């Protein structure tokens, strides 16, 4: 059992435990193992560290919440096309859907062992709301850049915020939402620049509002990110002293994901 006073070592051990749960030899033959969002894991670990729960429940809540996140992320990887795909593409798509369902089932199984029906309801409610938000973002018109950002922020942070509310530790909810939004935009921008499909940014390209083309969307996004990151750094610095580990972690993550990559892009 991991003693959950967060540290880099604890995160590594938690990540290994989560990876062990989702590892499936059949799925591994056809689709990549799912990515584990280390930033969301760090925020969850910090939230749980400030509760009076037993170490067993802390770890169980972190693992099950991350399994839900992995299931949501896996379903987002399912690609749809108007043209007829080859058999391998269809098979991989079907396996990706099944993998997402499999990861979802794992969290129900783990929580059932704890006989924790309220937590199951909390996670199930969050899943329902997140899926509804995604449908609105992907299939309804985006009327403004701010509306797009607000919807994306909710999608990225709602699961963690619902869990934080359940354990009555919501101090870092606002900061977490701001960081997870910034991180998502940074990752989506990088994917797009590297030539990979970015469904999130394509929402903006389809409905650019006052922006005329994709290059203007990216310029506007970069300006917004610079302003947002500056505000975020100040917000993180003002967290109470007992969040010192998380403050250090997020400052390091900001520099790695934003400043270092920004310098590399300009170079």
CB 64 within 8 A of CB 111: yes
- Please choose, from the candidates 27, 158, 24, 138, the residue with its C-alpha nearest in 3D space to the C-alpha of residue 76: 138
N- to C-terminal Cα separation, the chain: 45
Question: CB-based contacts of 96: which residues, under 8 Å, 6+ apart?
Answer: 31, 74, 75, 77, 78
pLDDT over threshold 80, residue 197: no
How far apart, in whole angstroms, are the C-alpha atoms of residue 251 and residue 248? 5
The first and second tokens of residue 57, run together, are: 């429940």
The first and second tokens of residue 113, run together, are: 């062992």
**DSSP characters over 134-150:** HHHHHHS----HHHHHH
How many whole angstroms from its chain centre is CA 214? 24
Summarize pLDDT for 141-183 with one digit per residue, the tens: 667 778 888 889 999 999 999 999 999 999 889 899 999 999 9
How far apart, in whole angstroms, are the C-alpha atoms of residue 35 and residue 103? 12
Percent of the chain having pLDDT more than 70?
A: 74
pLDDT for the residue 72: 85
More confident residue, 147 or 88: 147
Q: 241 φ, ψ to 5°?
A: -60, -30
pLDDT over threshold 50, residue 131: yes
The first and second tokens of residue 225, run together, are: 């990110």
pLDDT for the residue 95: 63
pLDDT over threshold 60, residue 262: no
* Residue located via tokens 């619902």: 162
Mean pLDDT to the nearest integer, 5-10: 68
What ranges in the chain are assigned the alpha helix state H?
8-22, 25-28, 38-49, 55-76, 87-114, 117-139, 145-166, 173-193, 199-206, 214-237, 244-254, 261-266
Residue 80 — pLDDT band, cuts 50, 70, 90? very low
Residue 44 — pLDDT band, cuts 50, 70, 90? very high
How far apart, in whole angstroms, are the C-alpha atoms of residue 64 and residue 70? 10
How far apart, in whole angstroms, are the C-alpha atoms of residue 84 and residue 171? 49
Mean pLDDT to the nearest integer, 192-201: 74
How far apart, in whole angstroms, are the C-alpha atoms of residue 68 and residue 34? 12
- Please choose, from the candidates 111, 133, 106, 132, the residue with its C-alpha nearest in 3D space to the C-alpha of residue 122: 111
* Residue located via tokens 């999608």: 155
Average pLDDT value over all residues in the chain: 79
pLDDT over threshold 80, residue 11: yes
């Amino acid at each position: 059992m991991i003693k959950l006073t967060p540290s880099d070592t604890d995160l590594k051990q938690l990540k290994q435990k989560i990876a062990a749960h989702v590892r499936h030899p059949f799925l591994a033959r056809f689709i990549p193992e799912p990515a584990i969002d280390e930033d969301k894991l760090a925020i969850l670990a910090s939230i749980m560290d400030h509760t009076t729960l037993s170490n067993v429940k802390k770890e169980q809540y972190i693992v099950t919440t991350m399994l839900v996140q992995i299931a949501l992320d896996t379903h987002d990887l399912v690609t749809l096309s108007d043209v007829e795909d080859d058999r391998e593409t269809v098979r991989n798509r079907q396996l990706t859907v099944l993998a997402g369902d499999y990861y979802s089932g794992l969290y129900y199984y783990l929580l059932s062992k704890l006989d924790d029906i309220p937590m199951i309801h909390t996670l199930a409610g969050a899943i329902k709301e997140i899926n509804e938000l995604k449908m609105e973002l992907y299939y309804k018109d985006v009327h403004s850049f701010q509306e797009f950002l607000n919807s994306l922020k909710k999608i990225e942070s709602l699961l963690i915020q619902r869990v934080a509310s359940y354990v009555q530790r919501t101090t870092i909810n606002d900061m977490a939402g701001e960081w997870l939004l910034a991180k998502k935009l940074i990752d989506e921008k990088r994917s797009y620049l590297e030539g990979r499909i970015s469904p999130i940014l394509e929402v903006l390209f389809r409905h650019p509002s006052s922006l005329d083309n994709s290059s203007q969307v990216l310029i506007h996004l970069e300006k917004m990110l610079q302003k947002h990151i500056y505000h975020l750094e100040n917000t993180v610095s003002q967290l109470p002293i007992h969040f010192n580990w998380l403050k250090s972690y997020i400052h390091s993550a900001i520099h790695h994901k934003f400043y270092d990559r920004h310098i590399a892009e300009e170079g």
